[in-house]
Amino acid sequence: MSEKYVVRTDSVISNPMSRDKAVKMVKQYDNQGISAYIVSEDEGERLKNSKFNTPKWD
């Protein structure tokens, strides 16, 4: 069973890919100064279908 991952930035959620490809993509984003995270394919779908609540600091 090969698990798939997605890469998430502030504005983009990638298509599912292997772990190795996801790690390479995160490194590329890091070199560009962009924060990116690897999440499971299931978590990526959940994030696509819901609004992410960013905390508001007063």
pLDDT at 56: 76
The single residue listed with the structure tokens 């298509």 is: 15
Query: What's the CA gap between 28 and 48, in Å, rounded?
Result: 22
Q: Judge contact between 2 and 19, C-beta under 8 A.
A: no
Q: Where are the domains of the chain?
A: 5-48
Work out the average pLDDT over 28-52.
Answer: 86
pLDDT at 57: 76
Q: Judge contact between 36 and 29, C-beta under 8 A.
A: yes
Cα–Cα separations (whole angstroms), residue 32 to 10, 12, 37: 14, 15, 14
Work out the average pLDDT over 14-42.
Answer: 94
Is the predicted pLDDT of residue 41 greater than 60, yes or no?
Answer: yes
Number of helical H runs and strand E runs in the chain: 2, 2
pTM: 0.74
